[in-house]
Chains A and B, each alone.
Chain A
Amino acid sequence: MAATAKIVFWVSLALLFYVYAGYPLLLLLWRRLAARPVRRAPIEPSVTVIIAAHNERGVIEAKIANCLELDYPRDRMQIVVALDAPTDGTEEVVWKYAGRTIDSVYYAPHRGKAGALNRALAVADGEILVLADARQRFDRSAVRELVANFDDPSVGAVSGELVLLDEAGREAGGGVGLYWRYEKRLRALESDIHSTLGVTGAIYAIRRSLFRPIPEETILDDVAIPMATVLAGKRVLFEPKARAFDHVSATPEIEYGRKVRTLMGNYQLLAMMPALLSPRSNPVFWQFWSHKMGRLLAPHLLIALLVSNLFLRHGVYLWAMAAQSAWYGLAVLGWAATRRAESRRVQRIPSARMPGRLDAAGDAAAVNHAEEKAA
């Protein structure tokens, strides 16, 4: 029993180390030895910005205004709002602009973002599609920075960078902010070698010729679309100069909800594109297994590490048990601290300024504050 426990313990530990530390180190080395440069140029192809919107009455006008302020020739840019059966009057706001400055597609019943993107494609006439959500605000040069990469014919899609802001308008710190920065670093390294494995749904661009409609039930359009691009033999880049800003209630609980959906989407992606698992069809096979599959395996490995450690109580294993106990103990304290801070905030903040109910003006002010700081 002890021999089996030892094997399980060391294999789990080695795989966990590889997933979280070994793989990033491997990417650093890989990039040093075999980075693939990208040819960028200040080109101005025709662009269609597609905004998928369901119930976005509070933010859609600010988003349209934001798109109209972008540093890109207006006669080279079409804006399409895909109205996914809104019930809060979003369409009334959008139709004020229809025909003059933007095109809109309305359909019912509610089908979700994938359906919205598929339908918007019918009216999109740009060579490059820039896909966006309604809530996040683009940096003024975001489209120009995305598009510059398409001068390289090997590039099929480009992801921008989503900057998460806290309530004070600063880049989010703490556990979630740290995790997000780690993820973005991985994406940048993967992009330098070949392709990033997912894009930021709030800001990414793809050649129209490569965009294929995806099933409406697709949970992660921002992984399915770039992965289809990679399988088609093109690169998917991460462009940190193309930035969008979003507010995040940077609590682990909210991030957990988002993460559950993301990982559910990853399982769906495997069912949808089994070719991703094969080295013959997926040029970023190793990265896919190390990054995406590694994350799916990680909780099982953590459980295996803890359970196997229960059978091993001597020497180095005793220290390992102490370290694991301390780690999970600190996690419990972190949970308690978050709960306490949350209950204090609920008592202090008037209901009109509660997180999640920030109005568009408040959002815009905070984003402006962040942009000024960044400048």
Chain B
Amino acid sequence: MKKLLLVPYTFVVLNWAPLAGLYYFLRKGAGKDIWLQYKLSLDASRERP
């Protein structure tokens, strides 16, 4: 019975996570300059033989 109840609970909790993830992403600025950093690291690795 408990296992059966865990299915809707898990579904609801895990579906709430994208909203929390977006909140933390915007609040912590995890996207700031990340594209530029990635591009620079790619360029650097291409320059290396």
Per DSSP, chain A at the interface is helix
Contact with B along A186-227 (1 / 0, CB 8 A): 000000000000000000000000001111011100000000
A267 to B17, CA, bound (A): 12
Is the beta-carbon distance between B17 and A260 smaller than 8 angstroms? Answer: yes
The stretch among A22-30, A72-80, A249-257, A309-317 that forms the contact with chain B is A249-257
Contact with A along B6-19 (1 / 0, CB 8 A): 11111111111111
Is the beta-carbon distance between A217 and B37 smaller than 8 angstroms? Answer: yes
Interface size band for B: 20 to 34
Residues of chain B within 8 A (CB-CB) of A214 are: 38, 41
A268 to B37, CA, bound (A): 12
A361 at the interface (CB under 8 A from B): no
Chain A residue at minimal CB-CB distance from B16: A299
Which residue, B5, B10, B22, B25, has most C-beta atoms of chain A within 10 A? B10
Residues of chain B within 8 A (CB-CB) of A219 are: 30
Is the beta-carbon distance between B6 and A252 smaller than 8 angstroms? Answer: yes
Is the beta-carbon distance between A330 and B8 smaller than 8 angstroms? Answer: yes
**Least Cβ–Cβ distance between B18 and chain A, in angstroms:** 5
Is the beta-carbon distance between A260 and B12 smaller than 8 angstroms? Answer: no
Chain B residue at minimal CB-CB distance from A303: B19
Residue B10 contacts which of A179, A272, A327 (CB distance < 8 angstroms)? A179
**Least Cβ–Cβ distance between B34 and chain A, in angstroms:** 5
A335 at the interface (CB under 8 A from B): yes
Residues of chain B within 8 A (CB-CB) of A298 are: 15, 18
- Given A212-B41, A337-B6: A256 in contact with B14 (beta carbons within 8 A): yes
**Least Cβ–Cβ distance between A113 and chain B, in angstroms:** 15
A residues with CB within 8 A of B:
173-176, 178-179, 212-215, 217-219, 252-253, 255-256, 259-268, 270-274, 295-300, 302, 327-328, 330-335, 337-338, 341
B residues with CB within 8 A of A:
2-3, 5-22, 24-25, 28, 30-31, 34-35, 37-38, 41-42, 44-45
Contacts beyond the supplied A265-B21, A330-B5: 20 A-B pairs with Cβ under 8 Å: A174-B10, A179-B11, A213-B44, A217-B30, A217-B37, A252-B13, A255-B10, A256-B14, A256-B16, A264-B25, A264-B28, A267-B31, A271-B34, A272-B34, A274-B35, A295-B18, A297-B18, A331-B13, A333-B9, A334-B6
